[in-house]
Structure 1
Amino acid sequence: MNQIATHSNIKFHLTVPEQVVLLKSRGMTIADDAVAEATLVRLGYYRLSGYFYPLRKTQPRGKLGRQDEFQVGTSLELVECLYEFDRELRLLVLDAVERIEVAVRSDIAHRLGQRHRLAHEVHSELDSKFCNQVNPRTGQTAYEDWAERLNAVLRRAQKEDFVKHHSAHYGGRMPIWVVTEVWDFGLLSKFFAGMRYKDQSYIARKYGLNEAKYLVSWLRAVNFVRNVSAHHSRLWNRNIIERPGFPPSQPHHYLHHLTGNDQAQTRVYGTLCVIKSMLDRIAPQYGWTPRLIDLCARFPVSDLVDLQAAGFPGDWREMNFWK
Structure 2
Amino acid sequence: MAYNRPWKSFAEQLELLKSRGMLVTDEVAALRYLERIGYYRLTAYWYSFRVFKLEQDPATKVLRTARTDQFEADTQFVDAVELYLFDKKLRLLVMDALERIEIALRVDIAYLLGQRNTFAHLDAKQLHPSFAGKVNKRTGMTTFEAWRDKYTGLLQRSKEDFVKHYRAQHGPDLPLWVAVEVWDFGAVSQLLAMMKVADQQHIAAKYGVSDWKVFQSWVRSLSYLRNLTAHHSRLWNRNVTDQPGLPNQGAVAWCDDFIGKADLIAKPFVLLAIARHMVKVVCPRTEWHMRMQHHLQKFPPQHSRRKLSIADMGAPAGWESWWIGEIQAGK
**Which of structure 1's runs of 4+ aligned residues deviate more than 4 A?**
none
For 2:126 and 2:27, the matched residues in 1 are separated by 63
Partner of 1:59, secondary structure, is strand
1:208-260: per-residue Cα shift (whole Å, max 9, x none)?
11111111110111111111111111000111111111102235542211111
Of stretches 17-26 and 246-255 in structure 1, the one that deviates more from structure 2 is 246-255
Contact between 1:59 and 1:67, CA under 8 Å: does it hold in 2? yes
Contact between 2:113 and 2:120, CA under 8 Å: does it hold in 1? yes
Of stretches 166-175 and 231-240 in structure 1, the one that deviates more from structure 2 is 166-175
For 1:247 and 1:10, the matched residues in 2 are separated by 50
For 1:267 and 1:65, the matched residues in 2 are separated by 21
For 1:142 and 1:133, the matched residues in 2 are separated by 6
Q: Does 1:307 align with 2:310?
A: yes
Q: What are the equivalent positions in structure 2 for 1:151-300 lying under 5 Å apart? A: 151-157=152-158, 159-250=159-250, 253-300=253-300
For 1:223 and 1:131, the matched residues in 2 are separated by 19
What's the % identity of the aligned pairs? 38
Instruction: Show structure 1 runs of 5+ residues with no match.
Output: none
User: What is the TM-score of this pair, normalised by structure 1?
Assistant: 0.94
Contact between 2:209 and 2:252, CA under 8 Å: does it hold in 1? no
Aligned-partner residue type, residue 165 of structure 1: H
Partner of 1:255, secondary structure, is helix
1:86-115: per-residue Cα shift (whole Å, max 9, x none)?
000000000000000011111101110111
1:156-209: per-residue Cα shift (whole Å, max 9, x none)?
11x322211221122221111110111000100011011111100000001111
Q: Does 1:38 align with 2:41?
A: no
User: What is the TM-score of this pair, normalised by structure 2?
Assistant: 0.92
Which of residues 4, 15, 19 is equivalent to 1:10?
Answer: 4
Q: What is residue 95 of structure 1 aligned with on the other side? A: 96
Aligned-partner residue type, residue 316 of structure 2: P
Partner of 2:6, secondary structure, is coil
Aligned-partner residue type, residue 155 of structure 1: Q
* Superposition deviation, residue 133 in structure 1: 2.4
Partner of 2:281, secondary structure, is helix
Instruction: Show structure 2 runs of 5+ residues with no match.
Output: 56-62, 326-331
Q: What is residue 133 of structure 1 aligned with on the other side? A: 134
Q: What is residue 22 of structure 1 aligned with on the other side? A: 16
User: Number of matched residues?
Assistant: 315
Q: What is residue 68 of structure 1 aligned with on the other side? A: 69
* Greater relative contact order, per chain length (Cα 8 Å cut-off, separation 6+): 2
Partner of 1:66, secondary structure, is strand
Q: What is residue 59 of structure 2 aligned with on the other side? A: none
